[in-house]
Amino acid sequence: MSVRRANEKVIFESFEGPRVTGILGPRRVGKSTLVKDFVQNKTPLCFFNMDSQAEQNDLSTRGLQRLIEEKTHQTLSSGIKTWVVIDEAQKYPSLFDQIKLLYDETKDQGSLKFIITGSSQLDLHQLSTESLAGRIELFQLQEFSLQESLALEGHQNVYCSPLDLILDRRFSELESSISRIGLYRRELQACLNTQLIFGGLPEVLLAKNEEARLRYLSNYLQTYLEKDVRAMSRIDIPAYHKLLEVVAEQTGSVREDQKILDSIHIARDTLKKYREYLLATWVYQEIYPFIQRSLKRLVKTPKGYLINNGLITYLSGISDLPTLEKTGIIGHRLETWFLKELSIAKARHAKKIDIHYWRTHSGLEVDFILAAKPHAYPFEITYRDKIESKKIRNLKTFMEEESADFGFYVYQGEFDFDSTNRIYFLPAFSIG
């Protein structure tokens, strides 16, 4: 079934606009499906897939303009608006100069609209910056949010995310909004539990059982290594695979390069290069500390996340909720899921928003800080359904030191608001 994506409104607005639209994101998160849903009734229309060597060869020998005209049976000089969709555009770098040339020739007439997708942030960002600066709008598509997962159950567009209310500073609406969301609590909790173990890739969520999900994740990882990673550079695949395993084990922790080097036995420069590949292919994310005033007393090393819980499950071999709860690992899985929801919400807003964490050398810590100047919104995340005094103390300390007006405690309990300490308690199922 077709699912409305959480951020499709802003993306579709760009599709209708004059500039080139670029959709970035990991493999199999639905980039092509989103584009095809939008352009299905647009004519004239043509598709190119740069995963295809044959299409790359055609572009090399015959050129983009000629192929567009042949596929659409229209000349670009006709003035009729032509839609051109190019999948995995970064696989054929010389294509970008051709896009630039055709864009510049037709922009005054508005007769050519390019939509490109890519699963390599490094290449597509670099190529678009060099060739399409000022001509392209870039958007990121991620795996399914919790509400998108719910849509697979037939409940489309049922609520406004509390994260949007917070970023829009509509705090007074949180209680009533979460009360409405509570009508779907059982379904959302089931979706959340699935995402904590298997992540939010659409085809994983649609799989019939655990075995099918693990088989898909195995194939997904193999395709990622063989297509995305090998395409970027000569690389030691076993060492890279080992790095993925280490990152999965350490997800949500402050990065410790020496421990990684000791475990994998590679050079520091190699680790740096491989980490750049992890970041570029959207399987890994680093968040840096929120540093405003107390620089000397704060930890300054980033935290790293393998951002697909399904891959973490496959690489770690732990695929049942009771074991995750018993070992305490479930907390990092919840953080990974919440980071994804923050990133999706962030992409919906035009204002500049950064995601950080906050930790002092003495052990005070806040899991996530949404920084939207001049405001900072601290979030503590726990899988428990009880309120932990240590986490409340951490929130209060941050709020006092950084002049944050509210704090947010995401847990498995009920909505509440502590007016004395200005802390909102948000049920995890209501996020996203």
State pLDDT tens for residues 377-421. 999 999 999 999 999 999 999 999 999 999 999 999 999 999 999
What's the pLDDT at 77?
A: 86
Q: Is residue 274 part of a domain?
A: yes
Average pLDDT on 307-333 reads: 94
- Please tell me whether residue 375 adopts helix, strand or coil conformation: strand
**CB neighbourhood size of 202 (10 A):** 17
Contact by Cβ (8 Å): 100, 64: no
Residue 232 within any structural domain of the chain: yes
Residue 293 pLDDT > 70, yes or no? no
Q: Are residues 236 and 359 both part of a single domain? A: yes
- Whether residue 174 sits in one domain with residue 127: no
Within a domain: 145: no
Is 150 among the domain residues? Answer: no
In a domain, 148, yes or no: no
- Smallest Cα–Cα separation from 209: which of 283, 336, 333, 319? 319
What is the distance between the alpha carbons of residues 355 and 282, in angstroms, rounded to a whole number? 16
Burial 47-80 (b: 16+ CB within 10 A, else e): bbbbeeeebbebbeeeebbebbbeebebebeeee
The CA R_g of the chain, rounded to the nearest whole Å, is 23
Question: Do 94 and 187 reside in the same domain of the chain?
Answer: no
Choose the weakest-confidence range: 70-74, 118-122, 345-349.
118-122
pLDDT tens for 247-276 read 999 999 999 999 999 999 999 999 999 998
Mark which of 140, 170, 204 sits at the end of a domain.
Answer: 140
229 and 117 in one domain? no
127 belongs to a structural domain: yes
Closest CA to 428 of 331, 297, 351: 331
- Same domain (yes/no): 20, 90: yes
- Strands of 136-140's sheet, edge to edge? 45-49, 82-87, 112-118, 20-24, 136-140
324 and 248, same domain (yes or no)? yes
Q: What is the CATH number for 20?
A: 3.40.50.300
Task: Report d(CA 110, CA 83) in Å as an integer.
Answer: 11
* Domain co-membership, 329 together with 393: yes
Q: pTM for the complete prediction?
A: 0.93
Q: Do 223 and 79 lie in a common domain? A: no
Do 180 and 107 reside in the same domain of the chain? no
Choose one of 140, 174, 191: the last residue of a domain: 140
Backbone phi, then psi, for 85, in 5-degree steps? -110, 130
Q: Model confidence over 205-248: pLDDT tens digits? A: 999 899 999 999 999 999 999 888 887 667 899 999 999 999 99
In a domain, 153, yes or no: no
Residue 319 and residue 317: Cα distance in Å, rounded? Answer: 6
Q: Is the pLDDT reported for residue 125 higher than 70?
A: no
pLDDT reading at 137 higher than 60: yes
Mean pLDDT, the chain, whole residue set: 92
Say if residue 124 is in the same domain as residue 239: no
If asked whether residues 26 and 99 sit together in one domain, one would say yes
pLDDT at 11: 95
* Domain final position from 76, 107, 140: 140
Task: Answer yes or no: is 319 within a domain.
Answer: yes
Are 99 and 175 contained in the same domain?
Answer: no
Residue-number span of the structural domain to which 240 is assigned: 158-430
- Total domains in the fold of the chain: 2
pLDDT at 269: 95
When pLDDT is cut at 50, 70 and 90, the band that residue 21 belongs to is: very high
Strands 112-118 and 82-87: parallel
Strands (E), 155-297: 253-254, 284-289
pLDDT at 123 over 60: no
